[in-house]
Structure 1
Amino acid sequence: MKPIGRHLTVDMYGCSFDNLNNLEFIKMAMLAAIDEVSLTLLSANYHKFEPHGLAALILLAESHMTIRTYPELGYAAFDIFTSDDLSRPERILAVLKRFLKPEKTKTTNIMRGDFGSQKDMKPRIRVSIAPLRRVRNTSAKVWSFLRKK
């Protein structure tokens, strides 16, 4: 089955405290991204935390976009999910980067709804403790041998 959508999780590091703590600036950045990529805004919800930080959720006809900022850390976490083939989330990300000017960005691209058909969605973590056990057993044998002499 063809994937339903693309989901980017984005960590932005080294952003300006003032920008990350300014609700109007974040609104402007997110709405500019939506406008530039020609997405359809359905609703938006924003919340300013005290003493600093904010959260925003934008519901789109094509899916959604969220942000949570930590100005004291210079960090912003974005979630960009698009289910429309024409609205590529990396275009939204490019606009957000232009506004926030992060020093570093970490982006994870997830294909949603592929039901395991995409190679990158399968876990690549492999844990094997057998080599460690062999080393431990070998060292135990060596110590045992040395103690006998």
Structure 2
Amino acid sequence: MKGLHLTADLRGCDPSAARMFDAAQLSRLCQHAVSLSGLTGVAELMHRFGPADGQSGITGVVLLAESHVAVHTWPELGAVTLDVYVCNYGGDNSEKARVLLDALIQVFEPSEVSRQQLLRG
């Protein structure tokens, strides 16, 4: 069981952008990024926290045939955390994971990005 776990902490994201608080829009953006990467989405769940006041974020998860991607938004902080994990069983999906993470970072247009990488297995 070998895999690659990528994370990114984003700051300086536009708190008024719908992708920060609109679960349907975030879902479409995640599906598009997964498609661009060449990975295979199999299911998803987007959960909006609190009242629809623009200050409540979303936790979204897309299950991949290759593992998962998770997105957590904090409009009140202009912040987002991203988590991409791929298994490399039967083939190396590392580059696809990097493409997916890069696509999601571009979606949020942050002013600051902190990336981490962990080889698993």
Is this contact kept in 1: 2:86–2:93, CA < 8 A? no
Distance 1:38 1:59 in 2: 14
Tell which has more relative contact order, 1 or 2 (C-alpha 8 A, sep 6+): 2
- What RMSD over aligned residues (CA atoms) do the two structures have, in Å? 1.4
Distance 2:2 2:36 in 1: 23
More helix by share: 1
Structure-1 residue corresponding to 2:2:
4
Structure 2 gaps, min length 5: none
AA aligned to 2:117 is N
TM-score, normalised by the number of residues in structure 2: 0.85
> Aligned with 1:72: secondary structure?
coil
1:9-66 Cα deviation digits (max 9, x unpaired): 1101111112311222211221111100111111101101113101011110001010
Structure-1 residue corresponding to 2:71:
67
Displaced runs of 4+ in structure 1, greater than 6 A?
Answer: none
Aligned length in residues: 111
Structure-2 residue corresponding to 1:40:
40
Q: Percent identity?
A: 30
Structure 1 gaps, min length 5: 114-149
Which of the pair has more CA radius of gyration? 1
More strand by share: 2
